[in-house]
């Protein structure tokens, strides 16, 4: 795999890097960020994949979340990909919640999106295998987390691939995309009108279908989040987890909104959650 180094910075005795590569899955150039803790110099370390939300790139998390300090101390790597395919030849939409910047971590089946918009397979197969082969990370100790659209991606990818991702957490996830405006728009556009095809990209439905035998799933939700009732619907996630007998810990955070100020406040506890199980 041909990787091009975009940037590299020393950070808490580890290294924060950004790479670009030609993605065979997405048929375009993609960027992803890798934070390697100092422990990676001497041995392979666990890694947490972070999936960002609508309009974001790999830059939002690595510059705003302040995750590197905790990752360095815990001895875990963080992999942060872009949120969608990009480029002049990649289809786009004028709206912020569809097209480039809004890949929704699905594999599109509808034209003109199906050629490029395959973020689910990109994360699960191509990027995961690339990271495992190119960096000092232990492919048997991967976790996954994310925010908003990326929280939806972390939940659905983790639930569908328990042998690949041993731990799951999320911030403010789109809990039931089949039941909110963001999700209905994206799933219709990328997958068509057949709602049976949507189910595999909805965490509330996957709880019942797939279950989860791994460690408890950790979710943080700000109670001052402007999208709480209209788009995120965490109560549906709690109800679905109970029906599917899935161990879910939802922490409701008074006064916190949907921003990276919220994420930066609690990201260390999420990384500790992953490390506790991945390093056991």
- Tell me how far apart the alpha carbons of residues 33 and 67 are, in angstroms, rounded to a whole number: 13
Question: Can 225 be counted among the known catalytic residues?
Answer: yes
Sheet holding 248-253, edge to edge: 3-11, 14-23, 28-36, 77-81, 45-51, 137-146, 167-171, 217-222, 248-253
Annotated catalytic residue: which of 258, 270, 273, 274? 258
Give me the DSSP letters along the chain: --EEEEEEEEETTEEEEEEEEEETTTTEEEEEEEEE-GGGGTS-EEEEEEE--TT--HHHHHHHS--HHHHHHHT-EEEEE-SS--STTS---SSTTSBTTB-TT-B--STTTTTT-BHHHIIIIIIHHHHHHHSSEEEEEEEEEEBTHHHHHHHHHHHH-TTT--EEEEES----GGGSHHHHHHHHHHH-S-GGGTGGG-HHHHHHHT---SSPEEEEEETT-TTIIIII-HHHHHHHHHHTT--EEEEEETT--SSHHHHHHHHHHHHHHHHHHH--
Reply yes or no on whether 258 is catalytic.
yes
Q: Distance (Å, rounded) from C-alpha 159 to C-alpha 28? A: 27
* Token duo for residue 75: 């001895």
Catalytic choice (23, 84, 145, 148): 148
Q: Which of 52, 172, 225, 274 is catalytic?
A: 225
Where in the sequence numbering do the catalytic residues fall?
Answer: 148, 225, 258
């Amino acid at each position: 795999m041909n990787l091009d180094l975009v940037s590299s910075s020393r950070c808490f005795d580890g290294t924060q890097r950004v790479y670009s590569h030609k993605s065979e899955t997405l048929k375009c150039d993609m960027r992803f960020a890798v934070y390697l803790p100092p422990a990676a110099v001497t041995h392979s370390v666990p890694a947490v994949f972070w999936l960002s939300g609508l309009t974001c790139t790999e830059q939002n998390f690595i510059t705003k979340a302040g995750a590197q300090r905790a990752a360095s101390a815990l001895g875990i790597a963080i992999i942060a990909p872009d949120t969608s395919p990009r480029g002049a030849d990649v289809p786009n939409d004028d709206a912020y919640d569809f097209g480039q910047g809004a890949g929704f971590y699905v594999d599109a089946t509808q034209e003109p999106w199906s050629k490029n918009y395959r973020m689910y397979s990109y994360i699960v197969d191509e990027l995961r295998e690339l990271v495992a082969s190119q960096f000092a990370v232990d492919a048997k100790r991967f976790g996954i987390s994310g925010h908003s659209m990326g929280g939806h991606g972390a939940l659905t990818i983790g639930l569908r691939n328990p042998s690949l991702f041993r731990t799951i957490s999320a911030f403010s996830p789109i809990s039931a995309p089949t039941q909110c405006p963001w999700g209905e728009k994206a799933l219709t556009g990328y997958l068509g009108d057949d709602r049976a095809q949507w189910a595999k990209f909805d965490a509330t439905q996957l709880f019942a279908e797939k279950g989860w035998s791994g460690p408890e799933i950790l979710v943080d939700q700000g109670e001052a989040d402007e999208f709480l009732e209209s788009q995120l619907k965490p109560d549906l996630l709690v109800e679905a987890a109970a029906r599917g007998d899935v161990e879910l810990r939802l922490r409701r955070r008074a006064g916190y909104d949907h921003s990276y100020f919220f994420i930066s406040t609690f990201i260390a506890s999420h990384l500790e959650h992953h490390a506790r199980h991945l390093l056991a």
